[in-house]
Amino acid sequence: MPRTQPVDGFSLAYDRSGTGPAVVLLHGWPGDRGDFRLVAPLLAGAADVVVPDLRGFGESDRHDVDPDDGYSGAAQARSVLGLLDELALGPVVLAGYDIGSRIAQLVAQAAPERVRALVIAPPGPGVGRRALEPAAQAQSWYQHFHRLPLARQLLDGHPDAVRDHLRHFWSSWSGPSFTPSDDDLDRLTAGYSRPGAFTSSIGWYRAGPGILARTLAERAPEPADRLRVPVSVLWPGHDPLFPPEWADRLGEFFADVTLTSLPDAGHFVPLEAPEEFAAAIRTALDGARRQ
C-alpha cells in the first residue's frame, strides 16, 4: 500500500490506478477510500486515478491531537495538497462527497491553479439559516453528539457499538434502492473500531466552532471573488441531510457551476450513482482538454 510522506506528521495511504490526466477522489464520513470502489474502475481507461484515505481514516495516520491542528478542513486540505505535490499531480480534477466535498472546495479555494475542475456531491455552500429548521436539526444531531466526550466514551474501541452507529447512517441516509451489505458494514466496522480510530474519524466535527456555526457564518463572496474553477455538482433527490432545494444558491459562490440532479440517489453518491459520478468526471476531463 503506497503512502505519502508525512504532512504535519500525517501520512496518507492511497490507491492509484489507470493512466492519463490526474483525478483525485475524496471520500466522506462514515467511509474511507473504498467509497470509490465502483467509480475508480470506470475511470481507469481515461485517467490517472488517486484515491486516498483522509487523515484519521482507513489506513492513513491518525494521532491523538487537538482537532483544530490535525483534523480541521484546512489541515485535511494540507495533506491533499501534499499528495498532489509528492505525486507531481496537477492540475487535477478533484472530486468528493460529504466531508470530501468540503475538503475539495477548500483545496480549490487555497490553490485554484492546482485544480482543473471540481466534481462534488453535497454539501455545497449557501445553506444559511435553513440549517436551523426542525427537519434539518433532526438529521444533524450526530454533529453535536460527536463533539461531546460521550461519543468517544461510548463508541471508541467498541466494535458492536460502532457497527450499530455506522449502520444507522448508511441505512437512513441512502436512497430507496440502496442497501449497504453486511460485508461492507463489517469492513467499515473493522477499520472504525480500532482503538482511537473512531475518535480520529470525528475530528472533523470536533474542530473549530462546529459545522452549524460555520454554516451560519458563511457569506457569499463578491462576484469577482467567486471560485472560478469549473464546478460540477451532483445533487441527490433522497439525501435527508441536504434536500434538493438547498442547491438554489450555488451560483452565488461558484462562477462556473453545472448542477445535475440525481432523483433516485441518496447521500452516498459514489456508491449509489457511480456511473453518473464517473460520467461527470469524464466530462470535466474533456472540458479541461478543450481549454
Give pLDDT, residue 89.
96
For residue 4, is it within any domain?
no
User: Is residue 8 in some structural domain?
Assistant: no
Q: For the segment 29-80, what is each residue's pLDDT rounded down to a tens digit?
A: 999 999 999 999 999 889 999 999 999 999 999 999 999 999 999 999 999 9
Mean pLDDT score, 172-199: 95
Q: Above 90 in pLDDT, residue 104?
A: yes
Q: Which of 59, 63, 68 is nearest to 204 (CA)?
A: 68
CATH number of residue 196's parent domain = 3.40.50.1820
Residue 134 within a domain: yes
Of the pLDDT bands very low, low, confident and very high (cuts 50, 70, 90), residue 288 is: low
**Helix or strand run (H / E) with residue 290:** helix 274-290
Pairwise CA distance, residues 137 & 77, whole Å: 27
Average pLDDT, the chain: 96
User: What amino acid occupies position 185?
Assistant: L
Domain count for the chain, please give it. Answer: 1
Is 129 among the domain residues?
yes
Decide: pTM greater than 0.95: yes
Above 90 in pLDDT, residue 291? no
Contacts of residue 151, defined as CB under 8 A and 6 or more positions apart, other chains included, come to 145, 198, 199, 202
